[in-house]
Amino acid sequence: MKLLDRRKSGILMHISSLPGDGGIGTLGENAYEFIDFLKMTGQTFWQILPIGSTGYGDSPYQSFSAFDGNPYLINLTDLVDNGFLYLSEIKNTDLGSNPEKIDYGKIFKNKLDLLRLGFSRAKSVIQDELHSFKNDNLDWIEDYTLFMALKKHFNYKSWLYWDKDIRLRKKKALSEYGKRLSQEKDFWLFTQYMFFKQWHKLKKYANEQDIYIIGDIPIYISTDSCDTWVNHDLFYLDKNKHPLQVSGCPPDGFSDEGQLWGNPIYNWKAIEATGYKWWIKRIKSNLKLYDVLRIDHFRGFESFWQVPFGHSTAKGGKWVKGPGIKVFNAIKKELGDNLAIIAEDLGFVTKEIHELRKKTGFPGMKVLQFAFDSREASDYLPHNYDKNCVVYTGTHDNDTIMGWLKKSGNRADIKKAIKYLKLNRREGLNWGFIRGAWSSSANIAITQIQDLLGLNSKARMNIPSTIGNNWKWRLKKGCLTKKIANKIYNLTKLYDRNNTKIIN
C-alpha cells in the first residue's frame, strides 16, 4: 500500500518555526525532539514548507534556487562540535532577542558571518568531503555557487541588474567571474554541504521512527533565482532577460486586488520541446529529499493567471492554458507511476482542474476552515470527501483556527462551523476542528501546530499579498506539553490514524 493510501495524520510546522536558541529554527536538537513528539503522539507525517534559501520578503516560496537548502536552517552546534566555531562566538552574536519571532535582518547578516568564520576554519579540514559533495551535485551546484557569489559581489541586487556581460551569461564573463570569485563560491558550496549533511541525517532519524516528511515545492521559480538566470529559454523573458509576464492569481477571498507573486511565466512550448527535462530533474531531486511532495498551486498546470510585467496589482491579468497532463505523463514515464505527490488544488477549482488531478491520481487538498461558507454548499465539508485527499484544519496561508473564530472569520460562517462540528469550549474550539479533520474519511489529516496549541492570530505564518511580517513565527519552548500530547494521541487513536504505542 502506498504511503498516501493509508489512514494517517500529521502536523504542519516549518523548520524555521522550531524553538531554541540561535534566532531561527534549525536542523538541530529541537528538530529531533519534535520528531520524538510526533512519534509519541501517534502521528505519521511532519509537513514543512519549502527548504530553499529565502530571498525577497523572506518567503520560502521565493527561493534563490529550486535545488538548494537554506543556510539559515543550519545547526551551528555541529560546527562547534567539530571545532570550527566556539560556543562563545555564537553566544556573543546577536541573532535576535525574541525567541518567538525571527529577525531575518540579523539572521542574514550575523548568522552568515558565523558560517563564514566556520568555513575559514573548516575548509582545509573537510576539503575531500566538499569535493565529493560537489561531484555528487554537479548538475546544479556550479551554477548555484557562482550565482550566490555574484549576488554578494553585486551587493545582493537581483541578477536583472548585474552588468550586462554576466547578466547575459557571456562565456568570457562566466570564466572571469568564476576565477575571481572562487573563494566566495567555495563558501556557498560549504553552506550546501553542511545543510544537506544535516538534512539527510535528520530525515534518516525521522524515517527510523516511522515519521515521514511531506515537503513542498512552489510551482513557480523566483525571478531572482539561479534557475531563471541559467535557463533563460524556459521562461518568457525579453532581450534583456526581464520578464514579459509574471505570475499571480485573480481577486479572491485573500485579496480584492488579487495576488501578484511576480514570478516569471514558464515557456511551456520550449519546456515541452526538451521533453520536460527541467521539471523531471526538479521532481526527482525533491523526491530524494522528502517522502511525500506537495506541489503548490497545482491548478497552474491546467490554467494559470499571468499579469504583464510592471503592473502593480494582479487585477489586469488573464487566464492562460497550461501544459495539462503532458508534463505529468513525462514525469511518470521517467520516475514511475507510484509518485507520492499531493496536489494543492485550492482556489477557484474548475471541472478541468478536477479532471487533471484525477488523471494524475494525486490526492487533492481540503481545508476545513474554507468549508463553512454560509452562502453555498462546499466540497470542503467532510461529508463530501472521497478517501483520496488530504484534509487540513488550515494551511500556512490561513489565519489560525482561534484567530478565524475570534477575529477574521465571517460571523455567519462561524455559526455554521459551530453547528456542523458541534464546537464547544469544554473540548476546545480548536480541538473541535481537529476532531472534524481526524474523523473525516480523508486518508490523511493534517493540523497546523498553531491550531494544535489553540493560538490566536499573532501566531499566523503568512498573510497573502502582504510583505514585512510573514514567516517569522516560532514555537515557544515547552508548549508541547504531556497534556496536549495525550489529547492528540487519544484523538488519533480514536479515529484509527495512530502510528505508535499508547503513552504511559
Active-site residue list = 296, 344, 397
Closest CA to 430 of 411, 412, 448, 408: 448
- Name the pairing type of β-strands 318-321 and 303-308: antiparallel
CA 289 to CA 215: how far, in whole Å? 8
Closest CA to 59 of 467, 458, 449: 467
* φ, ψ (nearest 5 deg) of residue 388: -80, 65
Q: Please give the C-alpha separations between residue 89 and each of 95, 113, 201, 309, in angstroms, as whole numbers.
A: 11, 11, 25, 45
CA 212 to CA 340: how far, in whole Å? 11
CB within 8 Å of 63: residues ≥ 6 apart: 50, 52, 53, 54, 55, 70, 218, 222, 225
Under 8 Å between Cβ of 270 and 324: no
CA 55 to CA 148: how far, in whole Å? 11
Residue with cell 529565502: 54
Nine-digit cell at 397? 496561508
Identify the DSSP state of 458: G
Residues paired with residue 259 on neighbouring β-strands, in sequence order: 249
Residues paired with residue 199 on neighbouring β-strands, in sequence order: none
Q: Please give the C-alpha separations between residue 145 and each of 52, 65, 142, 184, 463, in angstroms, as whole numbers.
A: 14, 10, 5, 8, 32
Q: Is 465 left (phi over 0), alpha (psi -120 to 50) or beta?
A: left
Under 8 Å between Cβ of 189 and 134: yes
Going 199 to 200 to 206 to 211, the CA torsion angle's sign is: positive
Q: Which secondary-structure segment (H or E) carries 419?
A: helix 411-421
